[in-house]
Amino acid sequence: MSDLPVTMELSDGVATVTLSNPPYNFLEPSIVAAYRSLLEALDNNPECRAIVMVSDGSAFCAGADFGSVVQDMKQGLDPAIMLDSFYREVRAMYRTSKPMVAAVEGPAIGAGLGLALLADFRISCPEATFAANFNRLGIHPGFGLSVTLPRLIGQHNAELLFYTGRRIKGQTAMELGLLTELVDQASVRDKAHALASEIALSAPIAVLDTRRTMRQGLAEAVEAANLKELENQVREMKTNDFLEGTAASMARRPPAFTGT
């Protein structure tokens, strides 16, 4: 296995991009930057017609490592610096052009859910878990999820997942419209590659033009929303509730928020 956090293999028009920061595949600015760099390189590679997003380890992506953020803050580091760097890369990822299929074999939590929603399609399994758990950590949703989640499952259902931080399994995610297909866990990668290969058989110029039309305004909407998400998260990370939320998450106990 490569020491790089994100790697790529290209075969028969399909690029497999692998996130490898196991076991939980936590995201940080350097990892998101590596992901963005690979997606932009594939934009400029005419041999790539579709992308499959996979992950090593037990989770598709468990989000950002907020425990590390808290430790950095205790050492006097400003969370705005990390978040600004992180989200600048996220916004750039939404401006890449090749169609993507996410193979979600395990938990996609917080920013990990955001990463899965970057893709055009998601293949998953009953065992996978999905959560937009930001409010349970004491902060506003990020990664552009305030745009991408309601776009997929509707405003009402998105609000329900945001406000409760509820974790849902693959079957519920499928019923809500979060997934393209639900298969057994052992078949997730194969099904994702099969879908990407089917896309790769279509005329590449036409696919890119159609995707541009279908996603018209999405990158701009994500950018506008994400700048607001960033503003809220920076402010909320200075609250007692954020410290309590992250502590409770690491201790696997219910948080006791005070609204301060």
**Segment 36-73, tens digit of pLDDT:** 999 999 999 999 999 999 999 999 999 988 777 777 77
Q: For residue 219, tell me if it sits in a domain.
A: no
Q: For residue 242, tell me if it sits in a domain.
A: no
Q: For residue 98, tell me if it sits in a domain.
A: yes
Q: Name, in order, each residue with C-beta under 8 angstroms of 78's C-beta and a sequence gap of 6 or more.
A: none
Rounded Cα gap, residues 240 and 138, in angstroms: 9
Q: For residue 47, tell me if it sits in a domain.
A: yes
Q: pLDDT per residue over 191-246, tens digit each? A: 999 999 999 999 999 999 999 999 999 999 999 999 999 999 999 999 999 999 99
pLDDT score at 205: 98
Q: For residue 51, tell me if it sits in a domain.
A: yes
pLDDT averaged over the chain? 95
DSSP state of 138: T
Q: For residue 32, tell me if it sits in a domain.
A: yes
Q: For CA atoms 146, 149, 155, 156, give the dihedral sign.
A: negative
Q: Can you give the residue range of the structural domain that contains 102?
A: 6-184
Q: For residue 247, tell me if it sits in a domain.
A: no
Q: For residue 23, tell me if it sits in a domain.
A: yes
Domain count of the chain? 1
The CATH number of whichever domain residue 142 belongs to comes to: 3.90.226.10
pLDDT at 1 over 60: no
